[in-house]
Structure formats: C-alpha cells, structure tokens
Structure 1
Amino acid sequence: MRKFDIRNIKIRKVNVDQLNDKMLLANLYVTQALTLIIGIAWVLFQGRNPFSLLKLPQSNDFALWGAGLAIVVLLFDLGISRFVPEEASDDGGVNDRIFSTRAIWHIAVISLVVSLCEEILFRGAIQYAIGPYWTSIIFAAIHVRYLRHWIPTGLVFSISYGLGWIMIHTGTLWAPILAHFLVDLVMGCIIRLRREEK
C-alpha cells in the first residue's frame, strides 16, 4: 500500500472552460459549503448563536426591503447591460456556464444556496465585526472573476453595501438573503432564457 505524501499534490490554475459541468457544479457547492462553515465558525467565535441569525422577524417589512433592493439592482444591472459593451462586464463566462443549461428549479436551488451561505458569512459574521463598508470591499474582492473590469466590481461593491444597509435597517438577515436570492434567480433565469432564444 502506498503512503499518502502531501508533497506530491500539484496545484495548477484551471480556466472555467477546462471544467466539465459536474466539476463546475461541484466547485460551486463545495465553495458555498466552505463559506457556510467559515460563517458559522466566525459567528460562534464572536460568542453568538448562529441559529439566532435565521430567527424569523415579527414583521414582513423585511420582504419589502429585500424585494425593493432586488428590483433596484435588477433595473440598474439591466440598464447598464444596454449601454456598456459586453466585454466591459465579462466575468470569464462563469455565470453563463453555471446558468445557461440549468433547469429553472436548479437555478432557484443554486440561488438559494448561494444567498444563504454568503449572507451568513458576509452580513451575519463579517459585517457584525467590521461594518458594511469593509465587508463590501471583501465581498467585491472575493468575486475575483469581476475584478478585471471596474463596472462589475463597482456594482458588486454597491450591491453588497445595499445588502448590508437593509440588514441594519430591518434588523434581520432575511432581508439581504431575500434580495440576494431574487437577484441571482432573476439574472440566472435571464441567462437561461437568452440561450434558448439563440
């Protein structure tokens, strides 16, 4: 039996086009699981109960704020896409690869998983520690695929700041979770339907 030697592990940069569909999805779900684990660990390290983050609010106001922010983001994003050349907002084809061939129900599942995991980490843990501004800088920085172009980077920063602001305003994590979910769901469906039209 051969012994495992960590020195034999080789890491190489892989382009999104080199990943097959199963590997792309596995990468997506593994990174979201790691995001959730880090978020929960950070909340526990802060001496807080992670389950309290997902406590349902007394009022439905959070839904209005979440849906309202999602509508503003979607209108702004669709407006920008009409006037900005496609190469200025290119993400390397990642979103197209993730959403273009998915069933609508799978786009909804991906959107839900991403919104829950990322909001628990960023709004639930990091924002609690350092506030919405620095959290938004980190949020924009981890969306590496957008960093090559200033328009999508600025948009991701602004969306993150908006998510942080509605969490502060409503006092619940459910507002940014809802907004994040709706933005990802609608944009994923638009990418999917665009492909069907071609």
Structure 2
Amino acid sequence: MKKWKLRKLEWKTVDAASLDDRTLLLNLYLTQGLTFLLGAVITLFQRNPFWKQFPADSYSSVLLWGAGLAAAVLSVDLLISRWVPEEITDDGGINERLFGNRSLWHLVLICLIVALCEEILFRGAVQHALGAYWTSILFAAIHVRYLRHWLMTGMVFSISYGLGWIYIHTGSLLAPVAAHFLIDLVMGLIIRYRKKE
C-alpha cells in the first residue's frame, strides 16, 4: 500500500487542455460528489432535507415548468450562438472535451448527475438561505470557465435565476433539475453531433 506524504503534495493551477480524458472525468465526478454531499448536509442542518423537496403531488405540471424554462434558455442560447462570435462564448474547450466524444448513455448520465447535484446544493440548500439573486451570483462565480466573458457570465446568472424562480413557483426541486438536465443534454448533444460533422 502506498503512503501519502502530505509535505510532498503541491497545489498548482492546471490548464484543462493539459488534462487527459480520464482525469477530466474524474475531476467532474469528484466535484459533483462533493457538491451533492455539501448540499445534502446543508439541507439537513436547515431542517429541510433535499429528498423532501421533491413533492409527489404534481409531477406533470412541475416537469412542464422545467421543460418550458429549458426551451426558453435553449432558444436564447441558439440565437446568441448564431449572432455572437465564437470567441465570446468560448469556455476554453471544456464542454467540447466533456461532451464531444461521449457515448449517448454517458452523456445522459453526466447531464443527470450534474443537474441533480448542482440543484440540490444551489436551489435546495443555498437558495433556501440566501435567496435566488445571491444564489445566482454564486452559481455564476463557480462556473469559472465563463467568467472571462461578460455575456456568458450574464447568461449563467440568468439561467440560475430562472432555475431559482421556477423552484420558488413550483415548490419542487424537480422543476429546476429537469430544466438543468434538458439544457445540458441538448447543448451536449449539439456539441457531440456537430463535432462529428
């Protein structure tokens, strides 16, 4: 068994382009696992556990809210990508690397994990304490790869605020999870199949 020596550990900035595919995926799954754990713990301390934030009384209308927000976001995003130069929407190639070569089932799995984990933390826990506005600022800030471009930062903030709004309106985490999943999935499919052409 290999021993870890804490004195030899180094902290350094890593360029995403220098990461291999396996390390990039491992980073994604680890950060999402930590996001889920943090959200779950916070909701427990708030006496509002995340599993109680998925009420079962009206799944169809809640899913419609999620699908409606996703359709609106995707429409605006496609319009922006049509008229805005590509360098303004550049994320450093991370999305291309995450979605470009994935099998369909893996792409769906990634989108589901990201949507569930991030919504439990941001809508289920943080928004409960800070409200939709400050949660959206925090949500935009953690999407570091977009902070270089004001348009993308504004889009992430707006999407987050929309997710917070439908959570408030429906009272269910299912609505923002569904919207987040559909937005990521459709954009991931566009990246994957556009690359093949």
- TM class, shorter-length: over 0.9
Q: Deviations over 1:152-191 (max 9, x none)?
A: 1000000000000001111110000000000000000000
Asked if structure 2 preserves the Cα contact closer than 8 Å seen for 1:57 and 1:172, the reply is no
Give the 3-state SS of the residue equivalent to 2:55 in structure 1. coil
RMSD: 1.4
Q: Deviations over 1:108-145 (max 9, x none)?
A: 10000000000000000000111000000000000000
CA gap 1:59/1:20 in 2 versus in 1, 3 angstroms: closer
CA gap 1:2/1:143 in 2 versus in 1, 3 angstroms: closer
The answer for the alignment partner of 2:99 in structure 1 is 99
- Which runs of no fewer than 5 residues in structure 1 stay unpaired? none
1:63 aligned onto 2:51: no
The whole-number CA distance in structure 2 between the counterparts of 1:158 and 1:93 is: 22
The residue correspondences of 1:155-194 to structure 2 (distance < 5 A) are 155-194=155-194
The answer for the alignment partner of 1:78 in structure 2 is 78
Return the letter of the residue paired with 2:12.
R
CA gap 1:3/1:118 in 2 versus in 1, 3 angstroms: closer
Give the 3-state SS of the residue equivalent to 1:63 in structure 2. helix
The answer for the alignment partner of 2:130 in structure 1 is 130
The whole-number CA distance in structure 2 between the counterparts of 1:144 and 1:163 is: 19
1:153 aligned onto 2:153: yes
The answer for the alignment partner of 2:54 in structure 1 is 54
1:118 aligned onto 2:118: yes
Return the letter of the residue paired with 2:19.
L
Return the letter of the residue paired with 2:139.
F
The answer for the alignment partner of 1:13 in structure 2 is 13
Return the letter of the residue paired with 2:85.
P
Percent of pairs with identical residues: 58
The whole-number CA distance in structure 2 between the counterparts of 1:70 and 1:50 is: 22
**1:48 Cα deviation after fit:** 2.3
CA gap 1:99/1:170 in 2 versus in 1, 3 angstroms: same
- Which runs of no fewer than 5 residues in structure 2 stay unpaired? none
Moved more, 178-187 or 38-47: 38-47
Return the letter of the residue paired with 2:68.
G
The whole-number CA distance in structure 2 between the counterparts of 1:86 and 1:61 is: 36
Number of aligned residue pairs: give it: 197
Asked if structure 1 preserves the Cα contact closer than 8 Å seen for 2:53 and 2:171, the reply is no
**1:5 Cα deviation after fit:** 3.5
Asked if structure 2 preserves the Cα contact closer than 8 Å seen for 1:119 and 1:176, the reply is yes
Give the 3-state SS of the residue equivalent to 2:158 in structure 1. helix
Give the 3-state SS of the residue equivalent to 1:60 in structure 2. helix
Give the 3-state SS of the residue equivalent to 2:101 in structure 1. coil
The whole-number CA distance in structure 2 between the counterparts of 1:38 and 1:177 is: 17
Asked if structure 1 preserves the Cα contact closer than 8 Å seen for 2:66 and 2:178, the reply is yes
TM-score by length of structure 2 reads 0.96
The answer for the alignment partner of 1:195 in structure 2 is 195
Give the 3-state SS of the residue equivalent to 2:11 in structure 1. coil
